[in-house]
Chains A and B, each alone.
Chain A
Amino acid sequence: MITSATAQGSGREIRDSVVIRFAGDSGDGMQVTGSQFTLETALAGSDFSTFPDFPAEIRAPAGTTFGVSAFQIHFGGTDVMTPGDAVDVLVAMNPAALTVDVHDLKVGGTVIVDTSAFNERNLGKAGYAKNPLEDDSLARYQVLKFDITKLTADAVKPHGLTSREAHLCRNMWALGLLLWMYGHERAATIEWLKRKFAKKPLIAAANIAALNAGHAFGETAEMPEHLVGYVVPKAVARPGRYRTVSGTEGLAWGLVAGLRAAGIEKMVFAGYPITPASALLHTLANLRAYGVVTFQAEDEIAASGAALGASYTGALGVTSSSGPGIALKTEMLGLAIATELPLVVIDSQRAGPSTGMPTKAEQSDLFQAVHGRNADSPLAVLAAATTSDCFDVAIEAVRLATKYMTPVIVLSDGYLAHAAEPWRIPREADLPKFPVSYRTDPEGFHPFLRNPETLARPWVKPGTPQLEHRIGGLERDYDSGHISYDPDNHARMTKARADKIAGIARDIPLQDVALGDDHGALAVVGWGSTFGPIHQAVKIARDEGRDVSHVHVRYLSPFPRNLGELLKRFDRVLVPEMNNGQLVKLLRAEYLVPAEPFGKVTGKPFRVTEIVQAIRKVMEKR
């Protein structure tokens, strides 16, 4: 909590921003609790950033540490760009949640526990020899001990639930209390509960009773003295209509928007189940009415093949996966490059190598995206910065793929896929339009005739009379498109493919500076989902009086044409990224700038403070 004062008259203390984490067993409904808290936060007018952290196991044994599911929300009045470094309030529904999550709680932070859950059995499963509520191990925190189990049971008693059913209402009690603490409304949650349990009115009523009881608990005299109400100011946001958007939704809707902007009738989205990319397949599977055909293929290779087959017909082919699956698509990317067909490939990166840590985020597929193919096989690579940026990046990927007849890889990651933020909903009329044109004129046609400006070849829909032609992976003659093994022709075609991708740099925005001057002592250069923490860190460093700027690179292949020149105007370049140093090497290779790496490969997003410290360190070294 950044500042502390008392709001006039309300008896509530003011907080600029707050980080809350709801943690409990997988069966405790923490994701739902978090989502509903987020909704009420949004309706209260705060800016927010959320991140769920669910267990890798599908059904982990109850009460165990690896079955802990958590949801973190950071909300407040000023720019909220990350889900927050350190937690102000931890709601721990059982001992396992406490032991897993208490380390992220600030010294002096508040932990709310359900005392009933701290029984011998649960303590044992969480690995506690002694009950932490009864010794001084939590002395650094304010511990609010409530018998949430009993308070919930009392509240739902009139509805005649079984004790198991009553137990499942505990999360609503906790939600009610937290909503009271931050002065949020409950109406949207009540409405949601009624809708969700429309067929089970008793359950709906019981949950609402628990929610109200938690709220009333804060409101009434029962409240212990440490339990204080707060006020968090509203954010100053651009007027408009808003909603919550996750990275997965942003990508899915962006692809649909791109499809329409290009004036293409149909998108074939082919995927194969893989964490964390599957969510995109699930989301798009519901968008049939929007021209989307989804296909769950037999493997990653077939998914990329089906997408490319769709592009061959003049539809938009899209495939998606995570690192190990993208590796399998490599061969098809080569074919897409050779036959110069559009293809959008979404890579939700995760920690590797190999299976690695499927549920943990990493940015370690940059090399794979830019260079990970046999032969000289250039393509375009973009990365999304935030969940709302996912929407814009997906549109841009469709634009580049269709305009330049090339595969485009969009790098997202497991963090962006699940994180959520408020999003100002665009209107379709305000979105860019870039209609594609299919070749229909047989006059002078051959399949590799290039547009002199973009160097793209014509896109022909099979079905078009007199344009029948054959394409394939074999090298083809520059002037006729026929198979050719001629050495000079291969050199010419290799160069044409490279020039086409390099030329995209003329068609994308110049590299800007996200924060700070366009020259100075230090540029902190990032890409992808680390935008938030880097931005905040640079802001803090600048507040400390440091000459630092933030440069966020969205276009990773090709780079914006002024990037090298821009970086050379800084004495030092620091590149924080969630890998062992990839962008840093691309920058050094491309521009011979003395960029320095700052990698984090724990599977967890950067904390702002980690980057602030790295900035201080690099600036102090001379």
Chain B
Amino acid sequence: MTVTTITDAQLAPKDYSSDQEVRWCPGCGDYAILKAVQKACAELGLVRERTVFVSGIGCAARFPYYMSTYGFHTVHGRAPAIATGIKLANPELDVWVMTGDGDGLSIGGNHMLHVLRRNVDLQIILFNNEIYGLTKGQYSPTSRRGTRSPSTPLGSIEYPVSACGFALGAGARFVARSVDTMQAHLVATLKRSHAHRGASFVEILQNCVVFNDAVFDHITGKEVAADAQILVEHGKPLLFGKNKEKALRLKPGKLELEIVPTDSDALIHDETNRPLAQLLAALEPPFPAAMGVLYCNPAASYEQEVYAQAGGSKGTGELDALLNSERTWEVTS
């Protein structure tokens, strides 16, 4: 007998959209991300009732309200913890964590560290706009040195954290980067992250038009993108430039990358190689910014192992037996 289950395989991207009016600033990169996520959902045929979007606080955290799936808008920085509880209680749910640079790397930095280290099966999408948007423009943990903001009128003197570098350091087993405006690449990256069992971390460079406009232009600008980005793909040489005329390779005798002409021996991207991923994540001008899946090396996910282990636990599951375990005595009248 065949069991017919209703799937949402035929749903279109718009079917993943809720009836709520989207309230991001006009021109905000978040719109493009919402579009890409809905497209990825449709292409993956995600079942709406089994999908949960969890967020913390910030502009990015409004995300769940705009999806027609289940959604939980929680408190600042804590979405990874809440999502962990959701997966522990019901591993069948497909859970996405939508976060930002302040939410995920500042107030929630500790939770981000541990959710990645534990490898809870979640898609963690970090919108990096290098600024606090919702609270009106303060510098964030990913803001570059010198960023002038209401709280740093003389320019920030802090060294920024690299989102992907942090994720790799925390032990994440899937780390990728994309850009809000690179729709096709973003959708493909989100789909890869969904295919990964365990915690997958995707950093999206997102433009905040109001408080940090054009902060990624040196990477994402049409004119410069070919030279300022390298799209990495597993098993393919690390090439970039308008005509793929430049390559990355290891500097002989050093653990560092160098730019060489393509005809010399380019490094082949191996997404299972964590040290290589670290090198790629850390690339800064004059090197191109690495985009795509920097690292992917799956292992059993946390909740999977929790339930695998449960089989070995003691006890019959009978409450009366539990209460009567160990020494008891009878009192007769």
Residues of A within 8 A of B (CB): 39, 42-43, 45, 188, 237-244, 253, 256-257, 260, 266, 268, 270, 286-291, 293, 295, 297-299, 301-303, 305-315, 317, 331-332, 334-335, 339, 424-428, 461-474, 482-483
Closest approach, in angstroms, between the C-beta of A252 and any C-beta of chain B? 9
On chain B, the residues within 8 Å of A469 by CB distance are: 70-71
B1 within 8 A of A: no
B135 within 8 A of A: no
B222 within 8 A of A: no
B243 within 8 A of A: no
Q: A306-B84, A464-B49 are in contact. Are A239 and B333 (CB under 8 A)?
A: yes
Please state if B69 and A468 are interface contacts (CB–CB under 8 Å): yes
Our pick among A242, A315, A332, A339 for the contact of B90 (Cβ within 8 Å) is A315
Please state if B310 and A472 are interface contacts (CB–CB under 8 Å): no
Among the stretches B195-203, B228-236, B289-297, B320-328, the one at the interface with A is B320-328
Which residues of B (75-94) have their CB < 8 Å from a CB of A?
75, 78, 80-90, 92-93
On chain A, the residues within 8 Å of B83 by CB distance are: 309
On chain B, the residues within 8 Å of A474 by CB distance are: 73
Please state if B65 and A288 are interface contacts (CB–CB under 8 Å): no
On chain B, the residues within 8 Å of A286 by CB distance are: 313-315
Please state if A308 and B328 are interface contacts (CB–CB under 8 Å): no
User: What are 11 sample pairs from A and B whose C-beta atoms fall under 8 A apart?
Assistant: A289-B314, A305-B84, A306-B81, A309-B86, A312-B86, A339-B72, A466-B49, A468-B48, A470-B20, A470-B73, A474-B73
Please state if A289 and B72 are interface contacts (CB–CB under 8 Å): no
Please state if A305 and B74 are interface contacts (CB–CB under 8 Å): yes
Instruction: Compute how far the CA of A237 lies from the CA of B332 in the bound complex, rounded to whole angstroms.
Output: 8
Q: A188-B327, A468-B68, A470-B64 are in contact. Are A293 and B310 (CB under 8 A)?
A: yes
B263 within 8 A of A: no
B154 within 8 A of A: no
Instruction: Compute how far the CA of A427 lies from the CA of B319 in the bound complex, rounded to whole angstroms.
Output: 8
Instruction: Compute how far the CA of A470 lies from the CA of B98 in the bound complex, rounded to whole angstroms.
Output: 14
Please state if B85 and A470 are interface contacts (CB–CB under 8 Å): no
Q: Which 7 A-B pairs have the closest CB atoms?
A: A309-B85, A472-B73, A305-B81, A306-B85, A288-B313, A470-B71, A302-B81
Which residues of B (90-124) have their CB < 8 Å from a CB of A?
90, 92-93, 110-111, 113-114
Please state if A463 and B327 are interface contacts (CB–CB under 8 Å): no
Please state if B88 and A306 are interface contacts (CB–CB under 8 Å): yes
B179 within 8 A of A: no
B50 within 8 A of A: yes
Which chain A residue has the least Cβ–Cβ distance from B71? A470
List 9 other contacts, CB 8 Å, given A312-B85, A428-B320.
A241-B324, A289-B313, A303-B81, A305-B81, A306-B88, A309-B83, A425-B323, A428-B323, A470-B65
Q: A241-B328, A310-B88, A467-B49 are in contact. Are A290 and B317 (CB under 8 A)?
A: yes
B255 within 8 A of A: no
Q: A243-B326, A301-B78, A470-B65 are in contact. Are A290 and B319 (CB under 8 A)?
A: yes
Our pick among A242, A299, A307, A467 for the contact of B331 (Cβ within 8 Å) is A242
On chain B, the residues within 8 Å of A268 by CB distance are: 85, 88-89
B52 within 8 A of A: yes
On chain B, the residues within 8 Å of A243 by CB distance are: 323-324, 326-329
Q: Interface majority SS on B: helix, strand, loop or mixed?
A: mixed
On chain A, the residues within 8 Å of B273 by CB distance are: none
Instruction: Compute how far the CA of A489 lies from the CA of B95 in the bound complex, rounded to whole angstroms.
Output: 31
Instruction: Compute how far the CA of A104 lies from the CA of B73 in the bound complex, rounded to whole angstroms.
Output: 55
On chain B, the residues within 8 Å of A43 by CB distance are: 329
On chain B, the residues within 8 Å of A241 by CB distance are: 324, 328-331
B306 within 8 A of A: yes
On chain A, the residues within 8 Å of B49 by CB distance are: 462-468
B6 within 8 A of A: yes
Which chain B residue has the least Cβ–Cβ distance from A237? B331
Q: A289-B313, A332-B75, A462-B90 are in contact. Are A301 and B81 (CB under 8 A)?
A: yes
On chain A, the residues within 8 Å of B4 by CB distance are: none
Please state if B81 and A242 are interface contacts (CB–CB under 8 Å): no
Our pick among B18, B88, B110 for the contact of A295 (Cβ within 8 Å) is B88
B316 within 8 A of A: yes
Max count, chain B CB within 10 A of own CB: residue among A188, A244, A309: A309
Q: A253-B322, A309-B84, A331-B75 are in contact. Are A425 and B89 (CB under 8 A)?
A: no
On chain A, the residues within 8 Å of B89 by CB distance are: 266, 268, 293, 309-310, 313-315, 317
Which chain A residue has the least Cβ–Cβ distance from B319? A428
On chain A, the residues within 8 Å of B328 by CB distance are: 241-243, 425
Which chain B residue has the least Cβ–Cβ distance from A244? B327
Instruction: Compute how far the CA of A334 lies from the CA of B76 in the bound complex, rounded to whole angstroms.
Output: 12
Please state if A463 and B314 are interface contacts (CB–CB under 8 Å): no
Q: A242-B330, A462-B50 are in contact. Are A335 and B74 (CB under 8 A)?
A: yes
On chain B, the residues within 8 Å of A270 by CB distance are: 85
Our pick among A240, A335, A339, A462 for the contact of B70 (Cβ within 8 Å) is A462
Please state if B74 and A472 are interface contacts (CB–CB under 8 Å): yes
Instruction: Compute how far the CA of A42 lies from the CA of B330 in the bound complex, rounded to whole angstroms.
Output: 10
On chain B, the residues within 8 Å of A339 by CB distance are: 72
Which chain A residue has the least Cβ–Cβ distance from B84? A306
On chain B, the residues within 8 Å of A289 by CB distance are: 310, 313-317
On chain A, the residues within 8 Å of B332 by CB distance are: 239
Closest approach, in angstroms, between the C-beta of A91 and any C-beta of chain B? 23
On chain B, the residues within 8 Å of A317 by CB distance are: 85, 89
Please state if B331 and A260 are interface contacts (CB–CB under 8 Å): no
On chain A, the residues within 8 Å of B110 by CB distance are: 298-299, 302
Which residues of B (218-244) have their CB < 8 Å from a CB of A?
none
Instruction: Compute how far the CA of A298 lies from the CA of B111 in the bound complex, rounded to whole angstroms.
Output: 7
Closest approach, in angstroms, between the C-beta of A260 and any C-beta of chain B? 6
Question: B40-69: contact bitstring with A at CB < 8 Å (1 yes, 0 no)?
Answer: 000000001110101001000000110111
Q: A427-B320, A462-B50 are in contact. Are A310 and B85 (CB under 8 A)?
A: yes
Instruction: Compute how far the CA of A485 lies from the CA of B120 in the bound complex, rounded to whole angstroms.
Output: 35
On chain A, the residues within 8 Å of B333 by CB distance are: 239
Instruction: Compute how far the CA of A256 lies from the CA of B319 in the bound complex, rounded to whole angstroms.
Output: 8
Instruction: Compute how far the CA of A468 lies from the CA of B67 in the bound complex, rounded to whole angstroms.
Output: 9
Closest approach, in angstroms, between the C-beta of A86 and any C-beta of chain B? 28
Our pick among A287, A309, A314, A466 for the contact of B81 (Cβ within 8 Å) is A309
On chain B, the residues within 8 Å of A290 by CB distance are: 315, 317, 319, 322
Closest approach, in angstroms, between the C-beta of A159 and any C-beta of chain B? 26
Please state if B329 and A242 are interface contacts (CB–CB under 8 Å): yes
Which chain B residue has the least Cβ–Cβ distance from A307? B85
Closest approach, in angstroms, between the C-beta of A196 and any C-beta of chain B? 13
Please state if A295 and B331 are interface contacts (CB–CB under 8 Å): no
